[in-house]
Chain A
Amino acid sequence: MMPNEGLLEVKNLKKFYGKVTAVSDISLKIRYDQVIMLVGANGAGKTTFLNIIAGLTEADDGEIILSGENITRFPPHKRAKKGIIKTFQLEHVFESMTVFDHIRTACISADNKHYLFFKNINNEREINERAEEIIELFDLTEVKNVFVKSLGHGYRKVIDIATSFAMKPKILLIDEPTSGIGEEEKYRIMDLLMDQITAKKLSAIIVEHDLNLVKDLGRETIVMHEGQFIARGNPGDVFCQDNVIDILVGRGF
């Protein structure tokens, strides 16, 4: 496939909750290894937008096309197999597993080995090696055999992200990777994430609330407001636009 060919294309996406418009007529094209930061106030429809792409929410209208295939009607687990992986804003981890098992779960799923009923998982070399590899990449070696429930918030976010990398993704939809995390840790997690995305040449849409962080990253930024994209471009430029300042910061009277 051509490197600059579109990977994901979203056409005229619409979603209404009663009279409220969550997503109104959004179209977007994402190329290979393109990373987009999505910002906007609460209730702007960012999460709904990601959920629609991941298949967790059904769109009222519109089409989603991945590498030329129309996936608008695919259930979430099929989209995940096609390479669209979403992480959640709130913690969604398997608490009663060790970190190693947590990563292995995703490796099994990526390799379509759900239905191995009688094989011992410890003998599946491919899965174990890949899980080890990812654990090393994300600096989780120390806590490899620790249960997720006994780990703190920062670790859980990293585990969540590492799990999505184990799925062999093509495009990551990451909903607030740094919510509820201290300032220093925030930058560490974001750097880790960005490094891996660049290393694996993935595409990504990342929702982020911390505007300083977005500015420091300097990636292409889209501002969302009332279900629409109102500005797009370099964060330095975008954050200087009047309408964006109105929405994101608010103006003193």
Chain B
Amino acid sequence: MGAKKVMIKSFQEQKMLSIILITSVFILMIIPLFVGGYTRTLIQRSLLWIPPVFGVYILYSLLRQVHFAQSIFIGIGSYLVAFLAGKYYFTNELLILIPVALVLSIIIASIIGIFLMRRTGFYFAVMGIAMTMVFWSIVCKAREITGGTDGISNIPNPNLLGVQLSNQGLYYVSVVISVLMILLMLRILNSPFSLQLRAIGGDIDKAESIGIPVKRMQRIAFVIAGSYAGISGVLLAFTYNYVGPSNFDWQYGANFIQSAILGGVNYFIGPIVGAFSFVTLDFFLSTWFPSFWEIITGLAIAIIVVTVGEEGITGLVKKFLSKISLEGKYKNDAK
């Protein structure tokens, strides 16, 4: 009987999740009709922020590894755009750029993954930071090609099937791609593969002793995380019309970790909540308090970590909602 109850509960949760997803996609589709370009860009940035945060999320919530190197793949995706669509104009066709970015991120993530995944825990995190520094300094030094610290600007809007997209068109493309990536992630998280990753995160020795090829699975997870960031990188470059070496910076990678924490790593919608709240917070605080916004962001994250830990904002909201519904129940009972 207990089993049945749990099954029903998980079914209800899934139903709830799909309702939330469908409503939010609907809202995202119609919202440009009501708001200005400013807000639309903010939403677009948040949406594109989600996939790399999901990369951090699978490495943390399943494998228990802290992934700083996500910025490398954002950098790869965005510099690909800067070269091919901007500086050395070749094409700005999204249907070419996105697959190329995907393949490139998979190749580079496979190579980096071999080195990084040799160690876990603290060492993995530190080696991730070291790796981003290597890429960052290469990009800064190769001034002739990459424009050095000035970066590359004046990136035109992308084409889709040969037609150049307007800013609004780019917004819709971003919605479609990030929603597809979220749905794909949902599938991955319910798969046998993710259960194996969870086992590795739980106890590496035990995982190995029941026949799980630990190293290979870890590398695959790393590649998935990297390719998610790579695709986002392409669209982020078009969103900002500018690419700079700070895309490779480890602090940029740390932003994704902060977003994951902010949203709550215990929930599937945590990274989504986290991405939206981080990007929004970042934007408003930096316009309102240009001189000390980093302190406020830092404090906000510190407070979240201390008070709710892995539950994040999602956990807070959930707690609040269940409190309300419980109060309602008591009232009904009293009647």
**Closest partner residue, chain B, to A118 (CB atom):** B187
Q: Is B322 an interface residue (CB 8 A)?
A: no
Q: Is B3 an interface residue (CB 8 A)?
A: yes
CB-defined contacts of B212 to chain A, threshold 8 Å: 77, 105, 109, 114
Q: Is A247 an interface residue (CB 8 A)?
A: no
Contact B196 A114 (CB under 8 A): yes
Q: Is A106 an interface residue (CB 8 A)?
A: yes
Closest CB in chain A relative to B320 CB, distance in Å: 24
Q: Is B191 an interface residue (CB 8 A)?
A: yes
Which bracket fits the contact residues of A?
35 or more
Q: Is B193 an interface residue (CB 8 A)?
A: yes
Contact B2 A144 (CB under 8 A): yes
Q: Mark B185-220, 1 if CB is under 8 A from A, else 0.
A: 001101111011011011101111111111001001
Q: Is A170 an interface residue (CB 8 A)?
A: no
CB-defined contacts of B35 to chain A, threshold 8 Å: none
- CB-CB under 8 A for A117 and B217, given A56-B205, A77-B208, A88-B206: no
**Count of interface residues, chain B, beta-carbon cutoff 8 Å:** 29
Q: Is B30 an interface residue (CB 8 A)?
A: no
- Alpha-carbon distance A80/B213, docked complex (angstroms): 10
Picked from B190, B211, B214, the residue with its CB within 8 Å of the CB of A110 is: B211
Contact A122 B190 (CB under 8 A): yes
Q: Is B334 an interface residue (CB 8 A)?
A: no
CB-defined contacts of B306 to chain A, threshold 8 Å: none
CB-defined contacts of A166 to chain B, threshold 8 Å: 210
Picked from B6, B205, B213, the residue with its CB within 8 Å of the CB of A88 is: B205
CB-defined contacts of B6 to chain A, threshold 8 Å: 145
Contact A109 B211 (CB under 8 A): yes
Q: Is A104 an interface residue (CB 8 A)?
A: yes
Contact A106 B210 (CB under 8 A): yes
Task: Tell me the chain A residues, 85-103 only, with Cβ under 8 Å from chain B.
Answer: 85-88, 92-97, 101
Contact B198 A94 (CB under 8 A): yes
What are 14 pairs between A and B in contact, CB < 8 Å? A77-B209, A80-B210, A80-B211, A88-B206, A92-B205, A101-B198, A105-B210, A105-B212, A106-B211, A117-B187, A118-B191, A120-B187, A142-B2, A163-B210
Q: Name B residues whose Cβ lies closer than 8 Å to a Cβ of A.
A: 2-3, 6, 184, 187-188, 190-193, 195-196, 198-199, 201-203, 205-214, 217, 220
Q: Name A residues whose Cβ lies closer than 8 Å to a Cβ of B.
A: 54, 56, 75-78, 80-81, 85-88, 92-97, 101, 104-106, 108-110, 113-122, 124, 127, 142, 144-145, 163-164, 166-167
